[in-house]
């Protein structure tokens, strides 16, 4: 694998000549698409095929498709699914919420696979608190840390049934953030011991996941000077150490306003801290050119983790029609 340690977006619904040339030169490990890139099924399939042709390896094609309010495919139609927290709220009348979750995310995954995607940036393992900014809210499965893991595992299983890889996020926990990290830097002052007993619990339980996305959050009792994404202490001691996550660690989007400095500085700091892969979502061509100057080729442990997380070997166990029927049955149980 000669891929570079970055996931890039693109500007629009078709691939531009300059983008083709840049991607062919940089060889990003993966690509991510957003609503701006998605117009019709045929167009999405063509765009994904064109992205694949720019690189010499088998890239992951990512999207944020959680269900509920985080749905990039909404304009295309098809199964969207409810917010993650809907399932725990329906537990009294739907005892088998694990089956309902698995069916729901299998339907989401089948829709993604049909279009050519290989990975979904879900599930959210964050545990929201009463005082937190609503950016997480009902995207989380529940507010009880010990209950999150089996629900999130059902999501991963459902995606896997459809041949889609999941990405757990936002490690080591975004649930206490009192501001939206897209807009500014959240600073969590909660003591390390309490974080260990709450926020870190779901990530520890799913530490065997193949991919995880970092939180642009400062945990001041652990590292008061850096967000987790750029904190060597958080990544080495907490994510890799205490939590025990051994999979591929990707940054959250480098253009989010939580991170200080230039894009190049953010990239260099994230890699130096221990992120394996960088995520850049906007498709801004000038920004991608800047990042191309500092992004290295995957090597050493990052390369090994990337190989284990690669899309090769992913195969659907269920067709899209079957998946949607199963999800509709699950949705009916939710009332």
State the catalytic residues: 182, 252
> What is the rounded CA–CA span in Å between residue 30 and residue 310?
9
Q: What is 76-125 written as a DSSP string?
A: G-S-----THHHHHTTTT-S-HHHHHHHHHHHHHHHHHHHT--EE---B-
Q: Which one-letter DSSP state was computed for residue 140? A: S
Task: Tokens for 306, please give them.
Answer: 């990337």
Query: What's the burial of 36, exposed, middle or buried (CB within 10 Å: 0-12/13-18/19+)?
Result: middle
Find all residues with CB under 8 Å of 237, minimum gap 6, and list them: 222
Q: 290-293 contacts: CB < 8 A, separation 24 or more? A: 290/262, 290/263, 290/264, 291/6, 291/254, 291/263, 291/264, 291/267, 292/4, 292/22, 292/25, 292/26, 293/264
Sign of the CA dihedral running 104, 107, 111, 113? positive
Residue 207 Cα to chain centre, angstroms: 15
What b-and-e string marks burial along 220-231, b requiring 16 or more CB atoms within 10 Å of the CB? Answer: eebbeebbbbbb
């Amino acid at each position: 694998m000669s891929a570079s340690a970055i996931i890039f977006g693109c500007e629009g619904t078709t691939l531009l000549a300059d983008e083709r040339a840049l991607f062919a030169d940089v060889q990003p490990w993966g690509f991510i698409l957003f609503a701006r890139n998605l117009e019709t099924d045929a167009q999405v399939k063509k765009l994904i095929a064109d992205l694949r042709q720019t690189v010499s390896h088998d890239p992951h094609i990512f999207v944020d498709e959680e269900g509920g309010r985080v749905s990039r495919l909404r304009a295309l139609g098809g199964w969207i699914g409810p917010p993650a927290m809907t399932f725990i709220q329906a537990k009294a009348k739907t005892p088998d919420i694990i089956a309902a979750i698995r069916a729901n995310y299998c339907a989401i995954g089948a829709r993604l696979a049909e279009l050519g995607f290989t990975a979904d940036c879900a599930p959210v393992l964050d545990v929201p608190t009463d005082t937190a900014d609503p950016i997480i809210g009902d995207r989380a499965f529940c507010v009880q840390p010990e209950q999150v893991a089996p629900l999130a595992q059902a999501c991963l299983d459902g995606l896997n049934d459809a041949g889609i890889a999941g990405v757990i996020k936002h490690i080591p926990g975004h649930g206490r953030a009192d501001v939206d990290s897209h807009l500014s830097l959240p600073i969590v002052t909660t003591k390390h011991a309490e974080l260990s007993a709450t926020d870190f619990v779901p990530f520890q339980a799913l530490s065997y996941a193949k991919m995880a996305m970092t939180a642009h959050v400062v945990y001041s009792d652990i590292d008061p000077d850096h967000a987790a994404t750029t904190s060597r202490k958080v990544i080495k001691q907490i994510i890799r150490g205490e939590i025990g996550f051994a999979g591929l660690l990707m940054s959250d989007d480098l253009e989010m306003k939580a991170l200080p400095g230039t894009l190049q500085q953010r990239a260099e700091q994230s890699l130096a801290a221990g992120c394996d892969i960088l995520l850049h979502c906007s498709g801004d061509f000038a920004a991608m050119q800047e990042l191309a100057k500092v992004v290295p080729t995957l090597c050493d442990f990052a390369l090994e983790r990337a190989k284990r997380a690669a899309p090769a070997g992913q195969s659907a166990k269920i067709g899209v029609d079957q998946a949607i029927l199963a999800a509709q049955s699950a949705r009916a149980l939710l009332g």
